[in-house]
Amino acid sequence: MARRSYKTELGCIACEELGELGAGKPNWLVETPHLLCAIDTHSLLLANRSTILLLSWSAHSDPPLKIRPDLSPIEAESITALEWLAFQDHRVIVAGTSSGYLLLYSLRGDLIHRQLRVRGTKKDLIQDTSSEEFCLILPGVIARFDGSDVQNRLQKWFEEANSRFWDQKPKSQDSEDFGNTDVTIPYQLWNIGKHGTCSDAAITGIMPPPLMEHQSSQRYYCAVAVGEDAVISAYSIILTLLLFDPLGRLSESKGRSLVGAILSRVVPATFSTLSSFSKLIWRSEPSSPKKSPKKVDQKPQPFARASPLTCLMDHPRKGEKLTLSPSGTLAAITDSLGRILLLDTQALVVVRLWKGYRDASCLFMEMLVNNDVASSSSSYSEPLKSDYCLCLAIHAPRKGIIEIWQMRTGPRLRTISCAKGSKMLQPSYRFGASMSSPYVPLEVFLLNGDSGQISIVNRTLDS
């Protein structure tokens, strides 16, 4: 009997260009310092401190594309974060630098936008799939803005780029004139640093208003953070409309609640590394000494302070990474002692605990657990969203396995062996998906750095 495989090979990304990123050495994918990865349905992004490499494993794909951002040698600026931003009609590459710049590139390597951001430290792109929003995570700060605002901005750029293609010669990748940097997008910003610096966080969903504000028209949200001082901390935040004046300065809406967001602290409008995608400070910088544009008023950036709900402090344990489920009701949290905590974000209670998973990473995925549904779907129609069961994929690199656990308290469904030097990846959420289109479940990809093979974890148990 042939050995059963729980993953399907999709293709190979091995190419000469990978040598610049460290390929060729054993375990280079996980051991090369400052190497970043982001996957889409048919493409992969890899980046080191100075170069972004776009690859595809499709049969008729374009050759690898290198993007070299214009980084400051004086500040020793480097690329610190990388992600895809996928809409129904467009995909763009999002990168962040150690000097606080957010860079958006087209798939041809054209610079769409470059902007300064609020000061902060490392994190990656976090997307709330339930309401199509982005969350920006900084030390002690969380920000939220609507994905439709960003989509409108990108749509305008692509329309202008198409017209420019016929009117003038192509611009260089990092041309200062190529993107319109005089745009501001509204957002909400809160301080969640009551219990120390956060290394990861997410807005998990709507929560009931405070007891004395049941008549309030404001929406209250729950934010969960993990970090060095508090393994887990939760906050109540209120969505307060923030507006921009003609100069791009931030002002608060006059309709403010009695409890929740109070604009009380300020931070400079610079930061050290990208933590997630946002349009917080959307402004241009002088493009050349020859030009003398009107300077934008660079007043400190105000933000609202959230109300703490609860926290778990257990020194020396530190929270490292938070992964949110599609509905926002569950969060998988890894800590520095090799534990994985499954948090009910509505009750704010840990409902499950795994031990012995040092250096582990977690991703939520969806599987067809019911064999009847899995067999019938292949003959008649695509499975519906209700046919899938939510699971948690845990990659334990020290054990060389990926485990699939059924949520919330279900059994371990599968153990998949994976080569040393592999990395578990998941495509970004695609915004603006039509309700009439077939449901696309959460899937998990596996990249073997040594062989260059990309595979996908099968979504049915009998495969």
Highest mean pLDDT among 235-244, 278-287, 291-300: 235-244
In this structure, of 45-59, 237-251, 396-410, the range with the lowest mean pLDDT score is 237-251
Any domain includes 398? yes
User: Cα–Cα distances in Å, from 442 out to 259, 371, 423, 459?
Assistant: 37, 19, 17, 9
If one counts the domains in the chain, the total is 1
In this structure, of 12-16, 140-144, 385-389, the range with the lowest mean pLDDT score is 140-144
Q: Which domain holds residue 406?
A: 1-13+366-430+443-463
Q: pTM score, two decimals?
A: 0.77
pLDDT at 128 over 70: no
Q: Residue 187: what pLDDT?
A: 67
Q: Residue 279: what pLDDT?
A: 27
Q: Residue 425: what pLDDT?
A: 94
Q: Residue 250: what pLDDT?
A: 35
pLDDT at 4 over 80: no
Any domain includes 373? yes
Tell me the pLDDT tens digit for each residue of 339-349. Answer: 999 999 999 99
Q: Residue 349: what pLDDT?
A: 93
Q: Residue 77: what pLDDT?
A: 86
pLDDT at 233 over 50: yes
pLDDT at 62 over 70: yes
Any domain includes 214? no
Q: Residue 192: what pLDDT?
A: 82
Q: Residue 81: what pLDDT?
A: 80
Any domain includes 412? yes
Any domain includes 103? no
Q: What is the average pLDDT score of the chain?
A: 74
DSSP 368: B
43 SS3 class: strand
Any domain includes 410? yes
Any domain includes 108? no
pLDDT at 419 over 60: yes
- Of the pLDDT bands very low, low, confident and very high (cuts 50, 70, 90), residue 319 is very high
Tell me the pLDDT tens digit for each residue of 338-374. Answer: 999 999 999 999 999 999 999 999 999 999 876 555 5
* Higher pLDDT, residue 38 or 145: 38
Tell me the pLDDT tens digit for each residue of 176-192. Answer: 444 444 555 566 778 88
Residue 257 half-sphere exposure toward CB, CA atoms < 13 A: 25
d(CA 55, CA 451): 15
Any domain includes 394? yes
- Secondary structure E strands in 129-248: 133-138, 141-146, 188-191, 198-207, 220-227, 232-238, 242-244
* Higher pLDDT, residue 39 or 158: 39
pLDDT at 274 over 80: no
d(CA 207, CA 328): 12
Start-to-end CA span in the chain (Å)? 14
Q: Would you tell me how many other CB atoms lie within 10 Å of the CB of residue 396? A: 20
pLDDT at 444 over 80: yes
